[in-house]
Structure formats: C-alpha cells, structure tokens
Amino acid sequence: MIESNKVKKILYGGDYNPEQWPEEIWEEDMRLMKLAHIDVVTLNVFSWAALQPSEDTYCFEKLDKIMETVTRNGMKICLATSTGAHPAWMARKYPDILRTDFSGRKHKFGSRHNSCPNSPTYRKYAKRLAEKLAERYRSYDNIVAWHISNEYGGECYCENCERAFRLWLKNKYQTIDAVNEAWDTAFWGHTFYDFEDIVLPNILSEHFAPERTTFQGISLDYRRFNSESILDCFRLEYDTIHAITPEIPITTNLMGTYDALDYQMWAKYMDFISWDNYPAYNAAPEDTALRHDLMRSLKQGKPFALMEQTPSVTNWHPYNALKRPGVMRLWSYQAVAHGADTVMFFQIRRSIGACEKYHGAVIDHAGHENTRVFREVAALGEELDRIGDLTLGSRMKSKAAIVFDWDNWWATSYSAGPSVNLHYCDEIMNYYKAFCDLNIPVDLISVEDDLTGYSFVAAPLLYMVKPGHDEKIRRFVQEGGRFLTTFFSGYVDEHDLVTVGGYPGRLRDILGIWVEEEDALPEEAGNRFTYQGTAYPATLICDLLHTESARSLASYEQDFYAGMPALTRNAFGKGFAYYVATRSDSNFYRTFIGEICAEAGIFPLLDTPDCIEAAERINANGSFLFLLNHDAQTHEITLNRTGRDILTGTEYKEGDTLRLAGRDVAIIQTV
C-alpha cells in the first residue's frame, strides 16, 4: 500500500461497506467518491457471515461484484479478510470459538472481535477464508494491501487458552521449578508441582481487579501469552496470504497506545503499520502526536498508513462533538506530518442500523454531496491530488528518542504500590510533551531498537530492565550519548523480580546514584525543588537517593528529606546520565529537556507559538516542514529557512513571517 509502485500519491479513501446497501446505490457511491477525489477503499471488513453462510458453503458472488465495481471505477483496494467477527452458525456449532472473559463468563454469540485466539475452530476457518480470498482475488492488480481481521484485541480465559498457556510456559521455562523461581511462588505458599496446577490469572484466581494481582509474574506472563496468541492468529492468515500473493503487502489496523497487545512484537510480522486515530474532541495535539510517533517508530520510521479516522464524529466517545471546520484537514495533515502516507476514513457511507449509524461518514444519511463534511472531504482530496507523490516515503530524522515498552507498561500497572496515580503512559507523556513543546522530533523506540544515530535517549519509568538493555544503555552513554531516567526505574528484571543491592539496580553505575526509599505522595501533598533559580513542584513520588559518582542538580526543600537530591547528573564515559527523582510540571520538563538537547547538539526545528506544531519529513524531493495551527486564531511564525508552501505555492525566505490562519496548515518544501 505504501512503498508500492502501484501508489503515486497519498492514498485517500476508507472503509466502504456496500454489502449493507442495495446495488442501485453503488453507482451513486462511485460518483460521490470520485467527486471527493477518493482513490482507495477498504473492503470486506465484516463479511464472514455472508462469505461463509454455512460450514461447507462459501459465497463470493456479491464480493465479486463489489470488487468489479470499484475496479471499473479506478479505485485501489485494501482488501480485508473479515475474520474480526465470526458467523452465528459457527458459534452455535463450535462453542470453542466463543471467548471466556476475565470474570470467567463464557460468552454467547454477539458483538465482534469475539473469537478465542486459541480456538482450533477459529484458526481453521480464519485461515481457510483468508486462503480462499487470496486465491480468488490474486489477479486484481489494484489490491494495494491486505488488511487482516480488524483491530485485534481483548483477551480470553477459556479452557483452550488455559491449556495453551501451560504449553507456552513449558516452552518458555522448560521446568516447573523454573516457573516457581520466576514467579517467586515461595511467597504465600504458591509452589506449583506440575504445569497442570497452573490456571489463568483472572478474578477467579490471582486477581482482585483487572489491574490488581497477587502474583505479578503470572499476570505478566499471561499478558505476553495473550498478545502472542492473538499475534499467532494474525500470522496464520499472513503466511497463508503471503504464500499466494507475495507481492502484496499485508497489515492489520492497530490502535495506537493499546495496552493488550505488544505492538513492537507485532510489528516484526507486519509489512507496514496502519492504525486508527480517534482522538476525543478535546484531545491535546501531543496526545495524538505521541500515538503517531509510536506507530511510526514500530517500524523504525518507515511511513505508516492512517487506516481510519472519522471525517466528522464518532458514536462511542462520551461526547461526540463535531470536528470543527478545518479540524479534519488539520488532523489529517498531523498524521502525514508524523509519517502517514495515506489518509483514510471510517467510513464512506453512514449505515442505517446498529451502533454505528450515527458515526460520521463521507456520505451522510442525507445521501448527497451538499454537506459541510462532504465539502471538506472533497477539498482535502483535491489538495492531496495536487501534492501527488512529493512527500511519499519521506522520513523524520530524530536525534532524540523515548523508550516505550509494553512489558514496562504492564509491569507498572500490575505493581502493588507505590501509588495508584502512577501510570506508565502519563510519565511517558510528561517527557514526550516537552519534546513537542520544543518542536524537537522524537522517536518512541523499543528496548530492542538500535541507539546508533540518537544523541539523547529518555526512558521514563524504566521499571523493568530486560536482559542486555542496561548494557546497551551503558555503551550508549560511554560513547557520548545522553540518557535520562526517572523514579521507579531499574527495580526489577524481566520476571518482575527485584534486583537487590539498591535501586536503580542494573542502571546504578550508569546513573551514579542509589535510591534508598521512595515516598509516594498523596494527591494533597507536594514537595518542591529549585533548579537554576526557579522553584518547581515535586509530586507523585519522591525518591530518597544518595549520589555515588553523580552530582546533585537540585534538592528537595521540604519534609524530613529536605536537602536530598531531586535531580542528578552523572558523567559516565564520554556521556552523561540524568536522574529525575520525582514528578514535576511541564515547565520543568520543557526547561530540562531543552537543556539536555542543547548539550547534545539537538535543536528545535524552529520557534513557534505554543499552539503551532512543527514537524519535518525528508525525502529525495527535499525537506517538508509541516506547520499545524491547533488554535482557532491566526498566529505568526518567523521562518528559519527558505522554501515554498506546497499547499499555496507561496515562496518564503529565511526570516520571513508566515501568517497561519486558525486550524490552517503550511507545508514548506526546501530543496
């Protein structure tokens, strides 16, 4: 789909469900789509029931017609496999396909994303359907991508999953003694004598709430197992399709910061990343930017597909406020600015029944083109046609990175203590926002990613240090890199077992400190530190630490630990390691991150008013500086480069003032 020679522009379109409509409407859809400059449709997302009405019957005639219709009309196709919801007959005949939830309740037929990932029935028939689709449509040269299933997710606690979990554990640990050791089962007399003793960790066993468990080890392994079980389903379809159409790239639509699936592991098995972006009406621009950057970084910066967004409203947020005029365009370009090479919607035509009938669509219930939403969609389509292939394949060049790790996310959310207000993504966001505020490009990398090319790596809440990660960081700093971490870091190994000898465990020599205690502050409490003459708040956690080789940069001002360091810097090899022992506010993060970046030779793309986001992508056509005005008012920016706005054709010289209207976008190309 992206990076394919069939594609010469930013693909524009989205989920199209003609099977929900009489055929007379299809031709009208084609007219309207052309009017909107739409050139790609995602087909067949939820059609399993129609494609396989009974165990031995498959029925592709309607899909054939749909494929022919869109092809005749010049559309590219992103072809889905329909395995995101199983048919009713299958649930009745093979109940093993139904999921069991966290409370141990076996589900009945209903909803979607409802199949047990370890169900032999699901796997058998999902693979068969994928195979039949690939065989049948392999000769269509306008298929630009396969879209397997839809928004994989959830979890299952059925007996099949329990058996599969035991096998997974056997494979991982070999012996039951190794399991006992990894989970520290000597605690509360939990020793397992046999793999058969092990049951899934849910409300009937180790949990007393979804995120509250008495044994972190088993719960963490269940998370990994569940993510891999669902990934196995994806891979099964992937391998089947890839063998038949090796030249067509394969994806599945991800969901940004979705906790149940370790997308970094998933990405290894996907040809390209695609994801669905549904910010709430009041989402901060950096919330969305973080998700785009995370999705882009899953494949080391390779462009991704924006697979879904709403043109106007969703139906499932608490308040489904309209995207104000200009916001759909602004958020589309925000995706492109962060690495998207497609702009796609859910959905082309608004359905008339069930829970998504009030979800926004390109074609509204009014059924014609005379709507605000349609006009905005068409205008953007026309603009994307004009941009053509100019920006395609361009990359962002980040010299800074933030470590994002699903195991750390899971482990910190399962941790009993230190504070209920400690949330992995919040801490990541505190640091990410600082880079955003400064207009400094940043990648969100995994613990496995190579650090070459980065000058500064921040790893907030690096609670779990996996084997080899400390050594990678150690070498990075020794060779001149700058590294930052925070409170509640370096505590445990990959099994969530504490590294004894003083926190931050394996990171201790790099940071040149040791942490003796941590004080979890209730919401009404707070401490303070002064850094370079400015007082900043210290909240959430205050580590009580001792410097070894590090130097204290600021210390607490209150309570019995007043005078102890809140901020340290350690010279280590040719580089430096920073430790932030508490949570502070955005002013602090912006200042501190800005300083470290400057020391590391990393500078803002340019200075802008706070509401103007700047991002840059680079390819053989030059560099493209995206300026996105997230405010409704006009703002001015002084440019620090010479170039041409590819949207308006206006030429600018370095030092010129660019006036950007409310919610408007400029893309300055410098060759």
Residue 345 near residue 362, CB atoms below 8 Å: yes
Which one of Zn ion, ligand GLA, none interacts with residue 346, CB within 5 to 8 A by kind? ligand GLA
| Chain residues in the site for Zn ion (CB under 5 A) | 116, 118, 156, 158, 160-161
Report the alpha-carbon distance of residue 639 to residue 661 in Å, rounded.
16
Choose among ligand GLA, Zn ion, none what residue 309 binds, the Cβ cut-off being 5 to 8 Å by kind: none
CB of 158 to Zn ion, least distance (A): 3
Radius of gyration of the chain (CA): 26
Q: Coil, strand or helix: which one is 356?
A: helix
- Considering the complex, state which of residue 183 and residue 346 has its C-beta at the smaller distance from ligand GLA: 346
**Annotation says 517 is catalytic:** no
* CA 666 – CA 650 distance, rounded (Å): 10
Closest distance to Zn ion from the beta carbon of 106 (Å): 10
Which residue in the block uniquely carries the two structure tokens 């409300």? Answer: 203
We find the least distance from the C-beta atom of residue 193 to Zn ion, in angstroms, to be 25
Give the tokens for residue 115. Answer: 């199949």
Using alpha carbons, select from 111, 316, 139, 404 the residue that is nearest to residue 245.
139
Give the tokens for residue 8: 């010469």
CA dihedral 106, 110, 112, 117 (to 10 degrees): 30
457 is written with which tokens? 């790596």
Compute the least distance from the CB of residue 312 to ligand GLA, in Å: 11
Pick from Zn ion, ligand GLA, none: which does 156 bind, CB < 5 to 8 A by kind?
Zn ion
What is the amino acid identity at position 408?
N
**DSSP structure class, residue 112:** S
In this structure, the number of other CB atoms found within 10 A of the CB of residue 648 comes to: 10
Closer to ligand GLA at the Cβ: 195 or 281?
281
Residue 158: which of Zn ion, ligand GLA, none does it interact with, CB under 5 to 8 A by kind? Answer: Zn ion
Residue 269 or 278 with smaller CB distance to ligand GLA = 278
Residues 218, 233: Cα–Cα separation, whole Å = 23
Distance CA 539, CA 523 (A): 8
Q: Give which of ligand GLA, Zn ion, none residue 276 binds (C-beta under 5 to 8 Å, depending on kind).
A: ligand GLA
**Cα–Cα distance measured from residue 191 to residue 205, given in angstroms and rounded to the nearest whole number:** 14
| Binds 44: which of Zn ion, ligand GLA, none (CB < 5-8 Å by kind) | none
Binding site for ligand GLA (CB under 6 A): 150-151, 253, 276, 278, 308, 314, 346, 356, 359
263/346 with CB nearer ligand GLA: 346
Q: Which tokens in the block code for residue 317? A: 């947020």
Sheet holding 643-645, edge to edge: 612-619, 622-629, 665-670, 643-645, 651-652
Of 377, 287, 379, 291, nearest in space to 339 by CA: 291
Partner from Zn ion, ligand GLA, none binding residue 161, C-beta < 5-8 Å depending on class: Zn ion
Q: What are phi and psi of 650, to 5 degrees?
A: -70, 135
Rounded Cα distance, 513 and 480, in Å: 19
Closer to ligand GLA by Cβ: residue 49 or 390: 49
Please list, residue by residue across 552-586, b when 16 or more beta carbons sit within 10 angstroms of its beta carbon and e when fewer do: bbbbbeebebeebbbbbbbebeebbbbbbbbbbee
Report which of 504, 469, 488, 487 is spatially closest to residue 416, judged by C-alpha positions.
Answer: 488
Report strand pairing: 527-531 vs 513-520: unpaired
Q: Please, which residue, 229 or 274, has the CB nearer to ligand GLA?
A: 274
Residue holding tokens 């749909």? 66
Query: Cβ 95 to Zn ion, closest distance in Å?
Result: 11
For ligand GLA, which is the closer residue by CB, 148 or 614? 148
Would you call 228 a catalytic residue per the annotation? no
The residue (of 314 and 608) whose beta carbon lies closer to ligand GLA is 314
- Comparing CB distances to Zn ion, the nearer of 152 and 476 is 152
Q: Which of the following is catalytic: 155, 206, 286, 308?
A: 308
Helix (H), strand (E) at residue 78? strand 76-80
Secondary structure, 3-state, 372-384: HHHHHHHHHHHHH
**What, of ligand GLA, Zn ion, none, does residue 359 touch, CB below 5 to 8 Å by kind?**
ligand GLA
3-state secondary structure of 147: strand
Q: How far apart are CA 199 and CA 196, in angstroms?
A: 8
- H-only helix segments in 278-398: 285-297, 327-337, 372-387
| Minimum distance from residue 252 beta carbon to ligand GLA (Å) | 10
Q: Closest residue to ligand GLA, Cβ-based?
A: 276
Which of Zn ion, ligand GLA, none does residue 116 bind to, with CB < 5 to 8 Å depending on kind? Answer: Zn ion
Q: Least Å distance between CB 484 and ligand GLA? A: 34
Tokens of 535: 């007082």
> 89 is in the binding site of which of ligand GLA, Zn ion, none (Cβ under 5 to 8 A by kind)?
none
Cβ proximity to ligand GLA, 360 vs 460, nearer residue: 360
| Closest alpha carbon to 515 in 523, 505, 524 | 505
Active-site residue, selected from the candidate residues 151, 155, 237, 427: 151
CB of 78 to ligand GLA, least distance (A): 13
Q: How far is the CB of 314 from ligand GLA (least distance, A)?
A: 5
Helix (H) or strand (E) holding 209: strand 207-209
308 binds, options Zn ion, ligand GLA, none, Cβ within 5 to 8 A by partner type: ligand GLA
Measured from the CB of residue 153, what is the shortest distance to ligand GLA in angstroms? 10
Nearer to ligand GLA, 151 or 427 (CB): 151
Q: How far is the CB of 356 from ligand GLA (least distance, A)?
A: 6
Catalytic positions: 151, 308
